[in-house]
Amino acid sequence: MQVYISVDMEGIAGVVNWKETFHNGEDYDRFRKLMTAETNAAVTAAFDEGVDRVVVNDSHGSMRNILIEELDSRAELISGSPKPMSMVEGLDDSYDAVLMVGYHCMAGAPGVLNHTYTGSVLQYRVNERRLGEIGMNAAAAGHYGVPVAFVSGDDCTVTEAEDLIPGVQTAQVKEHVGRQAARSLHPQKARRLIYEGVRQALSGELPEAFQVDVPVVISVQFNTTSRADGSHLLPGAKRIDPLTVQYTAPDYITALRAARALLELGV
Ligand SMILES: [Zn+2]
């Protein structure tokens, strides 16, 4: 059995502010250690469950956050950016399950540091359904028939995951108080919950893979019209209102690449 772990940072226990999540930000060095430790909780649980191989993808910001020297030595690490598939780089049908650690809820939902990919997106829709990063990446995994078995983050993240993927195991490591405030478990307790959640996820029946209908119609609603001005330059993209650009793709992998291009152009 092979397991793929995508690790974000906003949903790590204790993280409540953007400054804690970027290089040279206040306390960033503390929180990247906690991110590494939560990753290790998931890696250890996977190996304790008898998994043969674990690949970790650093999926936050620069994608150079996880301290490789502190990572469980049995895991492999994908890091750096840009990567063609970003938060799901290297994922394919050779994997049996995806675990999402440190995730956050979609833009406009009330949770800690909520956003969808960048701060400039108000809404991301796939075939009219509004998705955040859990859904964006679960759909990529679903393209390869791989289910998302576990998600950790705040209360809002857990709810979003459970709404999207019936049967997914979750670990709630904090409760949002506002977008930049939370009541958090101690990191040790958070790691314990993640460890137990991952063991349970991998020992039971895995959820169904999250698959979207094809062709895939994605739309990105930006927070300013100038971003849409840039974004709709992508050949094949259509501007459907002043803030929103739409793209139709034959499959979800192409759709995710197109979404990334729309966001890169919409700066
Ligand atoms: Zn992030």
By residue range, what is the domain housing residue 227? 216-265
Kindly report whether the global pTM for this prediction surpasses the value 0.75: yes
Exposed / middle / buried, residue 38 (Cβ in 10 Å: 0-12, 13-18, 19+): buried
Q: What is the pLDDT of residues 150-190, one digit of tens each?
A: 999 999 999 999 999 999 999 999 999 999 999 999 999 99
Total count of domains within the chain: 2
The pLDDT assigned to 15 comes to 98
Which among 203, 238, 254 is the end of a domain?
203
Count of beta carbons in the 10 Å neighbourhood of residue 82: 10
Residue 15 is assigned to a structural domain of this protein: yes
Torsion angle of the four alpha carbons 265, 126, 42, 180, in this order, in degrees rounded to the nearest 10: 70
Peptide bond connecting 187 to the previous residue in cis, omega within 30 degrees of 0: no
- CATH classification of the domain holding 228: 3.30.1360.130
Same domain, 132 and 258: no
| Cα of 8 from ligand 1 centre, angstroms | 5
CATH of the domain at 76: 3.40.50.10780
Say how many Å lie between the CA of residue 90 and the centre of ligand 1: 18
- Whether residue 86 lies inside any domain: the answer is yes
List the one residue out of 259, 260, 229, 257 whose CA is nearest residue 243: 229
CA of 198 from ligand 1 middle (Å) equals: 21
Co-location of 164 and 248 in the same domain: no
- Going from the Cα of 116 to the center of ligand 1, the distance in angstroms, rounded, reads 9
Shared domain for 145 and 256, answered yes or no, is: no
One domain, residues 186 and 62: yes
Same domain, 58 and 134: yes
Residue 158 belongs to a domain = yes
Query: Does one domain contain both 68 and 94?
Result: yes
Q: Would you call 60 a catalytic residue per the annotation?
A: no
Predicted pLDDT of residue 40: 98
Burial 177-192 (b: 16+ CB within 10 A, else e): eebeebebbebeebbe
pLDDT in tens, 93-151: 999 999 999 999 999 999 999 999 999 999 999 999 999 999 999 999 999 999 999 99
Q: Which of 23, 60, 104, 115 is catalytic?
A: 115
Together in a domain, 153 and 72? yes
Q: Convert the pLDDT of each residue in 25-74 to its tens digit.
A: 999 999 999 999 999 999 999 999 999 999 999 999 999 999 999 999 99
Q: Which two tokens stand for residue 2?
A: 């092979």
pLDDT digits (tens, 9 = 90+) for 187-242: 999 999 999 999 999 998 999 999 999 999 999 999 999 999 999 999 999 999 99
Based on the domain organization, do 18 and 78 belong to the same domain? yes
- At residue 83, the pLDDT reads 94
Q: Is residue 211 part of a domain?
A: no
- Same-domain status, 38 and 95: yes
Q: Is the domain of 8 the same as that of 109?
A: yes
